[in-house]
Amino acid sequence: MRELYPEIEPFRTRRLAVDARHTLYVEECGTPDALPVIFLHGGPGAGIAPYHRRFFDPKRWHAVLFDQRGAGQSTPFADLTDNTTAHLVADIEAIREELGIERWVVFGGSWGSTLALAYAQAHPERVLGLVLRGIFLARDEELRWFNEADGGARYIFPERWARFRDFIPEAERGNMTEAYWKRLDSDDEATRLTAAQAWSAYEGGSTTLVHDPDASGDFADPHKAVSLARLEVHYFRHGMFLEPGQLLRDVAKIRRIPATIVHGRYDIICPVKTALDLHEAWPEAALRIVLAGHSAADPAIVDALVEATDKLADRYS
């Protein structure tokens, strides 16, 4: 099985002001004149991590990574003003123009797959290829599946669900997203933090195929928990700022773009049916369903993603 490429440091970082309020942290890795790719992280609000640089052969890729509005090192931190899908799509274009890139590959997982589809459908002429992992199409049933009492994830991770549920008083559990939002938007800092940690612990510990119900997960750091929880709930409450069924409806706009869809068979956060629904609408895209969960770091996911980026590099070499 393929593994991640060796650890690598950016050859350039910058801070890009995209409006009067928001400034993005952007980093570039690999080879400046090589095939360009932009990496879109999940969440919203999760931010980039050093291992994200390693899905790309540094000799054959010019990899661009950035923290989306409110996430990671972008500022203002966890800010929700002018933070919508349309703003993020515009930010991707601003980065492309700033770097002088004509066309590039777009790589995104989980929420990053949602944003990648939205960007590609808005700007298909700028996209050389798509690598999508852990598909999330932002439909109502997907929004409810993991975080609401009528979703199915509570049957798979009952211990984690119980902790997530019990943080909220019984009278408010009919709409967990709104109940968490009430606390995440509190004037009290301690209330905001404990709600963010409860929300993020439920998701962060549910990503991998090999599951420890008591593990703290990927978002244990309070800083990351706050941005993840506030931005996710903000987007969830607004249907991810997309029209119902928009991403499937507009597949025709990107049908001719080379694409690979990678999805874990046992992904509980974004169930595999979502990837199958996308592939049914877009049979030209290659579909890889692998023995994995949701995490991009699961070995079978790594193998499939690195294979996909290597094949695109071969295609355009």
Active-site annotation holder among 41, 62, 74, 110: 110
Of 122, 138, 136, 128, nearest in space to 308 by CA: 128
**Separation CA 110–CA 103 (nearest Å):** 23
Q: What is the pLDDT of residue 213?
A: 75
Give pLDDT tens digits along the chain (317 positions). 999 999 999 999 999 999 999 999 999 999 999 999 999 999 999 999 999 999 999 999 999 999 999 999 999 999 999 999 999 999 999 999 999 999 999 999 999 999 999 999 999 999 999 999 999 999 999 999 999 999 999 999 999 999 999 999 999 999 999 999 999 999 999 999 999 999 999 998 888 888 777 776 666 788 889 999 999 999 999 999 999 999 999 999 999 999 999 999 999 999 999 999 999 999 999 999 999 999 999 999 999 999 999 999 999 98
- For 32, 58, 168, 235, the CA distances from 230, given in Å and listed in that order, are 35, 34, 16, 9
What are the tokens at 89? 């799509």
**Separation CA 193–CA 28 (nearest Å):** 32
Q: What is the pLDDT of residue 218?
A: 66
Is position 294 annotated as part of the catalytic site? yes
Reduced to 3 states (helix: H, G, I; strand: E, B; else coil), residue 106 is: strand
Is position 41 annotated as part of the catalytic site? no
Of 35, 28, 68, 5, nearest in space to 258 by CA: 35
Active-site annotation holder among 263, 294, 295, 298: 294
Q: What is the pLDDT of residue 214?
A: 74
Q: What is the pLDDT of residue 262?
A: 98
What are the tokens at 205? 């510990």
Task: State the DSSP string of 69-92.
Answer: TTSTTSBSTT--TT-SHHHHHHHH
User: What's this model's pTM, rounded to 2 decimal places?
Assistant: 0.97
For the CA atoms of 292, 143, 216, 51, what is the dihedral angle to 10 degrees?
A: 60
Q: What is the pLDDT of residue 73?
A: 97
Q: What is the pLDDT of residue 223?
A: 85
Domains defined for the chain, CATH in brackets: 12-139+241-316 (3.40.50.1820), 141-240 (no CATH)
Q: What is the pLDDT of residue 208?
A: 86
Is position 188 annotated as part of the catalytic site? no
Active-site annotation holder among 79, 218, 267, 303: 267
Q: What is the pLDDT of residue 217?
A: 66
